[in-house]
A and B are shown apart, each in its own frame.
Chain A
Amino acid sequence: MLLFRLWNYIRGYVIIFIEGYFLEKFVNICTRRQILLWDIKRNKNSKMTLKISIQGFKRLRPIAKKTGCRVKILNKRGLPFLLNRYRRRKTFLLGAAVFIVLFYIMTSFVWSIEVIGNEKIETDIILKSLTQQGVKPGVFKYKINPEEIANTIILDIDGLSYVNVLLKGTKIKVEVAEGVKRPPIIPLNEPCDIVAKKDGVIKSIVVKAGQAQVKEGETVRKGQLLVSGSIPIKGAEDSPRKVHAMGEVLARTWYEGEHPVELKVVEKVRTGRKKDNLTLVLFSKEIELFHKEASFSDFEKVEIKKSLSIGEELVLPFGLTIERYYENDSVEADVSFEDAKENAANIAYKKAARNIPEGAEVVNRRIEFIENENGEFVADVIIECLEDIGVAKENGGE
């Protein structure tokens, strides 16, 4: 029945009122002439309302004349009448068409680029690489080949282990994963030495190939030869045998970080006063709206970017950038000596730990508070690690 009603709605129908003495005859003639009638309701004697399709209604006049009935249209329903109403409104139709075309054109460009997954490598570097390949906001999206771009980026930028370029709507999503930078690998059949990559005290040295040049407990400097790849042969000192030196050189290394103990902490508190500067972004043009410099002496600037988008993917090239200035008030607070020491130690520890490479084992940590000549304390953190400091280096020998 739903389908029937839907079909009738699409075809269009009229609700008519019929008045006459031979209504049964009227209905019979209609059915015989294949005119579909439905929802026939008898109101009173000699009056009824019914629904009839547009085509049927056009053939109704002779029947009404024959049976002596008066026909009146009560209501017109359906799609044809609805469309008819809008037929006259040419500007409206034109506007709708222009909208659809414009929408299609607008959505076939790239309007925003998102880079996710990068921690050490700056987004700008990746964006720059994209720009070099001609991928930037405003570029025609069907020209872009995501796979090719991903391949070029991964070759272009060091330290990326995975790049995926996704084209979604008007947005380009660049997903990256960073890998650890690897030293250049020397093929096994080429001779090389092992040298120290940083200062340290040798804890143990295990040589698989080559000749050890240092002993346990010895202090080595960066670049010092640890395992030599050239083994002298007795009797022929001038032409030693060259091998690919291999071995593990564990050494104690130290990492240091310091931070002054601050007894007074300046805290910035927002006063609640703020000022907004609006910038309208159209395509790649920026239009500043009534910009005024904030008159605060101390402020914090927050940039909020809003762009018009349909759903998550379809970003349109219109946006608004709000530069919000919050007025700040500096409040000095006293901190107890113990708390200050702890804070300073924490920061110093973080500074020291930043340089510890992966794979190093932390053996010992020491925190000292040193008083300098001005009477101020400085937290000094030394972390002792155990790590392999050997790195292969070509010795240039044949």
Chain B
Amino acid sequence: MPEKRTKSAKKRKEEEQKINLKEKMAELLELPKEIVLDLPKITMFGNKNLIVENYKGIIEYDNNRIRVNTGKGIIRVAGDSLVIKEITSEDLMIDGEILSLEFLK
């Protein structure tokens, strides 16, 4: 078991290095990061409107809480009378009064 653990740790380290390299490359070539690094792109208009691009799926949807799964963890949006205005496979638009936005690992 301990052997396995070290192995997985090693793997993770390798992966991290890979990401670092990718990030550097993206920065160098000025490529859009949300595509190269598979990150969600989040756009907010005040606290009324929130657009999440490049997401994986919704985990929880409620009037005052929405949790969205992305490639890099979960985004939790809390607010009042939240409505999914539009949803496609690429982007998600949330309307309502947004109170907080959190990133959960």
Contact = CB atoms under 8 A, between A and B. Distances in A.
A37 B87 contact: yes
Interface stretch (B5-13, B20-28, B58-66): B58-66
Nearest to A4: B86
A31 B54 CA distance: 12
Interface residues of B, number: 15
Nearest to A51: B86
Given A32-B89, A36-B88, A24 B61 contact: yes
B62 A38 contact: no
B58 A38 contact: no
Contacts, number: 48
A273 B84 CA distance: 73
B18 interface: no
A38 B85 contact: yes
A293 interface: no
Nearest to A45: B62
Interface string B53-77: 0000111111100000000000000
B20 to A, nearest CB: 31
Contacts of B60: 24
Contact of A41 (B58, B83, B86, B89): B83
Interface string A2-39: 00000000000000000000011001101110101111
A27 B88 contact: no
A231 B7 CA distance: 140
Given A28-B57, A28-B58, A38 B86 contact: yes
Contacts of A87: none
B61 A23 contact: yes
B85 A42 contact: no
A123 B97 CA distance: 75
B61 A27 contact: yes
A70 to B, nearest CB: 18
A50 B61 CA distance: 13
Contacts of B62: 42
Given A38-B86, A39-B83, A40-B84, A31 B57 contact: yes
Given A38-B85, A40-B87, 15 more contacts: A24-B59, A27-B58, A27-B87, A28-B57, A31-B89, A32-B57, A34-B89, A37-B84, A37-B87, A39-B84, A40-B83, A40-B84, A40-B85, A42-B61, A42-B82
